[in-house]
Structure 1
Amino acid sequence: MTYEVQFKPKAIKDLQSLPPDIQSLVLKKIEAMRDNLQGNIKRLTNFTPEYRLRVGDYRVLFEIEEQTLIIYRIKHRKNAYQ
C-alpha cells in the first residue's frame, strides 16, 4: 500500500531548522515509509500523534488517516515527547 504524505506547518518549520545532512536523511526515511510503512516505526501509547519514525537521534511524529500519513513534528529525541 502506498501512502500520501502531508506535512503540517510545524513539521515543515522543524524540518527547515535541521542541519542539511539530517534534513536529507529524514526526507529519505519518510519517502521509504510511504511504501508499506517501512522503517523503524512504533505505535505510541497514551500519546498523540499515535506513531513515531526513528531517524537516528530524531523522531518523526505522525498519524495515519486512511491513505495519508500526516507528519506533525520532527524533533530531537530528547524533546520529542514533551
Structure 2
Amino acid sequence: MKTIILSVSAARDLDNLPADVREQIAEGLISYAVSGRGDIKRLAGRDGYRLRIGRYRVIFDEDRTTILAIYIGKRETTTYRRS
C-alpha cells in the first residue's frame, strides 16, 4: 500500500466538495493506493497522472511508496492547465 499525501491546494479542493463526493474520491484514492487499480492515464505534455473518479479528476504524482495529490476537481477545460 502506498501512502497518500494531499498538497495544500488539493486538500483545499477536497474540503470544498460535497460530502458524498469527498467520500467517493477518498475511496478511489485508497483503492488505487492499495491495489494499483483505477482509471489512470499519464498526462501528456507534463509530468504526472490523472485518476478519474466519475466526473472528478485527481491529478497526482507518485513514486514507489507515495502518491502526492496535486489537484482535485471536476473535469473542466481548466483542470489540466493548473500547475
Normalised by the size of structure 1, how large is the TM-score?
0.90
1:5 maps to which residue?
4
Unmatched segments (≥5 aa) in structure 2: none
Question: Structure 1: how far apart are the matches of 2:36 and 2:44?
Answer: 18
2:64 maps to which residue?
66
In the alignment, does 2:36 pair up with 1:17?
Answer: no
Aligned alpha-carbon RMSD (Å): 1.1
Give how far 1:35 is off: 1.7
Corresponding residue pairs, total: 80
Normalised by the size of structure 2, how large is the TM-score?
0.89
Give how far 1:56 is off: 0.8
Runs of 4+ in structure 1 over 4 Å off = none
1:31 maps to which residue?
30
Question: Structure 1: how far apart are the matches of 2:44 and 2:35?
Answer: 21
Unmatched segments (≥5 aa) in structure 1: none
1:51 maps to which residue?
49
Give how far 1:39 is off: 0.8
Question: Structure 2: how far apart are the matches of 1:73 and 1:38?
Answer: 19
